[in-house]
């Protein structure tokens, strides 16, 4: 079914499985001030957050995106097909389309504020709006080797089964193509990740009345998890470390001085699909 340009590719059992998660997630995102009534908000992302509500996060997204384009997509021809996994409001697909690529946006959310429906704002700047699919990553509605690159856009930590999600994504990428993970938290110690989840759950319960644990997700990366993916799928990650600024770089030292758990780090991970 296609509704307002969005192809709904979730099977009935998946709709039921994700229903509570989507409802809770949309509620939290709305209370966090995500989205805007102004088209200028969407057209400025990730470089300008006209709402002013999540400026630091968008600054990080902008640096990750710039690194992606300049260093990881540098040898990728214009016109290449790029799968934007966890596209949200479609900002990355919009930027990639402006740069001459052919993106395809995938997300579970379809609302007009923070989901795929918000991509309507990009119609005024693009000759043709990029395709949008409501789908889950481990059951993608695409042919084998249909894309040149797949990017987990601040979304890999939402995977319920990271091996199955990666395997399905590899199926959709051509031999020699790239799979890239950006803006997913990494911890040196598993214990730190578990502590982060407990803290987040308590904070969400207090602030929003929900814990967003309707489904169990990956939530974060560690070196052990990355190695496990390499062994299971015969891939090799290249780790990239963008510069997010002095304040971000000082976070581990500040946390140590204050006796807090290690903070998350954000890196980019890229792997090529072998023959």
Apex CA 27: angle with CA 21 and CA 9, to 5°?
45
Which phi and psi angles does 154 have, rounded to 5°? 50, 40
Three-state SS for 149?
strand
The band of 210, judged by pLDDT with boundaries at 50, 70 and 90, is: low
Which phi and psi angles does 88 have, rounded to 5°? 60, -125
Q: Per residue in 30-75, pLDDT tens?
A: 877 788 989 999 999 999 999 989 999 999 999 999 999 999 999 8
Q: Is the peptide bond before 232 cis (omega within 30 degrees of 0)?
A: no
| pLDDT given at position 138 | 93
| pLDDT given at position 214 | 64
The pLDDT > 70 percentage for the chain reads 98
- Distance separating alpha carbons of residues 243 and 34, to the nearest angstrom: 25
User: Mean pLDDT over residues 118-124, rounded?
Assistant: 96
Number of other CB atoms surrounding residue 134 within 10 Å: 25
- Distance separating alpha carbons of residues 180 and 149, to the nearest angstrom: 8
| pLDDT given at position 213 | 67
- Residue 77: CB partners within 8 Å, gap ≥ 6? none
Radius of gyration of the chain (CA): 18
The band of 215, judged by pLDDT with boundaries at 50, 70 and 90, is: confident
Tell me if 129 sits within 8 A of 122, measured CB to CB: yes
275: pLDDT strictly greater than 80: no
At which residue do the structure tokens 């091996």 appear?
Answer: 163
User: Mean pLDDT over residues 236-255, rounded?
Assistant: 96
At which residue do the structure tokens 């496990």 appear?
Answer: 228
Strand partners, 221: 186
Residue of 151, 118, 116, 121 lying closest to 137 (CA atoms) = 151
109: pLDDT strictly greater than 70: yes
184: pLDDT strictly greater than 70: yes
User: Mean pLDDT over residues 87-111, rounded?
Assistant: 97
| pLDDT given at position 211 | 64
Locate all alpha helices (DSSP H) within 86-215, ordered by sequence: 91-98, 162-172, 190-208
Q: Per residue in 136-147, pLDDT tens?
A: 999 999 999 999
- Distance separating alpha carbons of residues 263 and 266, to the nearest angstrom: 10
The band of 23, judged by pLDDT with boundaries at 50, 70 and 90, is: confident
Residue-averaged pLDDT of the chain: 94
């Amino acid at each position: 079914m296609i509704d307002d340009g969005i192809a709904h590719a979730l099977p009935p059992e998946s709709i039921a499985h994700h229903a509570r998660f989507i409802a809770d997630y949309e509620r939290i995102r709305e209370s966090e001030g995500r989205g805007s009534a102004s088209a200028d908000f969407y057209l400025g992302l990730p470089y300008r957050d006209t709402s002013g509500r999540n400026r630091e996060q968008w600054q990080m997204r902008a640096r990750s995106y710039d690194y992606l384009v300049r260093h990881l997509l540098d040898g990728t021809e214009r016109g290449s097909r790029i799968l934007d996994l966890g596209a949200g409001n479609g900002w990355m697909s919009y930027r990639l389309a402006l740069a001459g690529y052919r993106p395809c946006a995938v997300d579970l959310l379809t609302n007009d504020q923070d989901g795929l429906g918000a991509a309507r704002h990009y119609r005024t700047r693009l000759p043709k709006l990029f395709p949008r699919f409501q789908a889950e990553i481990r059951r993608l509605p695409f042919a084998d080797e249909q894309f040149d690159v797949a990017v987990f856009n601040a979304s890999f930590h939402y995977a319920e089964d990271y091996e199955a999600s990666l395997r399905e994504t590899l199926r959709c990428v051509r031999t020699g193509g790239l799979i890239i993970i950006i803006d997913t938290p990494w911890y040196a110690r598993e214990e730190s990740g578990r502590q982060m989840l407990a803290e987040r759950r308590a904070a969400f319960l207090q602030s929003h009345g929900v814990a967003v644990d309707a489904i169990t997700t990956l939530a974060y990366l560690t070196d052990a998890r990355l190695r496990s993916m390499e062994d299971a799928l015969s891939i090799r990650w290249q780790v990239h470390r963008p510069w997010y600024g002095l304040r971000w770089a000082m976070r581990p030292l500040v946390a140590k001085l204050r006796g807090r758990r290690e903070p998350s780090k954000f890196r980019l991970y890229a792997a090529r699909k072998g023959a």
